[in-house]
Structure 1
Amino acid sequence: MSVRGHVAPSRVRETVLAYLALTKPRVIELLLVTAIPAMLLAHRGSVNPLLIFNTLAGGMLAAGGANTLNCVADADIDKKMKRTARRPLARESVPTRNALVFGLTLSVASFAWLWWTTNLLSGVLAVATIAFYVFVYTLLLKRRTSQNVVWGGAAGCMPVMIAWSAVTGTIGWPALVMFAIIFFWTPPHTWALAMRYKEDYQAAGIPMLPAVATERQVTTQILIYTWLTVAATLALSLATGWLYTAVAVVAGVWFLTMAHQLYAGVRRGEPVKPLRLFLQSNNYLAVVFCALALDSAMALPTLFRV
């Protein structure tokens, strides 16, 4: 009896953790980092806390559903990559059918929740995001083109659109600029990681840019997209105050310096550490959007009223 009493909770815990892993919680962090500042900017800091909670809850359901369906579609290649071999479907700790039902349930729940607690536009944007991520990126682009993360990364930009629409019921130009920031940020962020694990992508037959191009070509593209990212952050200054602008400038110089160092190191034929850029790119995005949240909460005057 005592043995069963100890084993059962352990199995329940393992099952719960396996289903949680399907949603890729670390990826969902991007939702939290970008959605709240977008909502604060949309109404200059005076947003109902309940609306923020409802939007984040719906967004997390949508992201969890999309990531779970992505795991279902990518189960075969996840088994071939060291970085993803421990995912639940790769090690068969969750039945594929159950994962599919789980992902679809989360997706439907996200639409219903956002429609009920915010507005129809936010719910529709969530469904469009899931469909784009699963069908366009995962099933169409990922295994066919080295530009997969450029266009597929658009799905990761949608939380700011959903957040903005939840507050305003529309999509304003600042939301489009925030979309552009994340859109341009995604390639250097992802390619830096892929440079470190390019053998994984080659083994799985995924044409991620670092797996099919030279390091010089990859770092050139990283540099271009880093410049575009910083330019987009500065463009958002037209809707913010001095605090955000100051942080965006300093953080932009820091991000560009890292990208240039990686590019220069490759050009000189020196050993490089692309994983450093990957990790620091997360910090860069967090710093910029946290500054946006603080700036918006202060409700400082803007150059152009939103």
Structure 2
Amino acid sequence: MNIIEVRNVTKEYANHVALDNVSISIPRGKIFGLLGPNGAGKTSLIRIINQITGPDKGEILFDGELLGNKHISRIGYLPEERGLYKKMKVGDQLLYLAQLKGLSQKEAMDKLKSWFVKFDIKTWWDKSVSDLSKGMQQKVQFVSTVLHEPDLIILDEPFSGFDPINANLIRDEILELKQKGCTIIFSTHRMETVEELCDHIALIHKSKKILDGPKREIKEQFKTNTYFVEYKGSLSGLEGLYEISADKEVENDYRRATIHLGENKSPNALLTSLLPNVEIRSFGENIPSMSDIFMRSVNEIPEA
């Protein structure tokens, strides 16, 4: 079942169309990558799901119900623009934010103790937010986002400003939250993170959805039936059978070539043709990266 159904949503600001008849389904218990260039409409959609603004047309369903105020406590939101009270102490601030999400003071204290141990921030309770580095502040805000154990967590560029150690810490927490059944909407420009974490993706460009679905299926859709081979020897005997490109030296007399299979030709047949002619060090299919898919999809949309 889908936790979020975005149905034909349109949003306009003055003379600018931020979202143009966008429909997206977000499955429960998955990490969903919401992708697109700057100004594509991602943040507008996130703000509508969070009920900060509303759609001009269309509707959003949460768990099969029309999105409403009662769903706010079931959502956690980490915005790209961090929003902590600079002069407030970390502990007091997290208690306050947790109670806004419906936790009692005792429930909040019990959960905060666990998170402060997990993130090794036990000495931060009485620190002012202004005394923390940007990365430390982001840790605090992440805790505030997930403390009430929401069903849906929306993370907008969650790794921005983190060093590699803390980025890995947050990544592991995201994966643990997914294992516990949370649904995570993950908005980022970092395609390597999408590659690693996301199960499904949607790509918005120029206010329109241009691509969505399970990540594995989208990669299949963009495959070009090409294979790479690293080898010693000569491919001259294959030139009439296959389209060979990017044949260049790699190291120690090994070369790397890209070979396009035509219709009705299999990788097994290609290997059979290669083996008598060359010594093979590695062989495999060229699977498009999410970065390749992103750039190809965006560049194929004509200018308005």
Short-chain TM bin: under 0.3
Greater strand share, structure number: 2
The higher radius of gyration belongs to 2
TM-score (normalizing by structure 2): 0.26
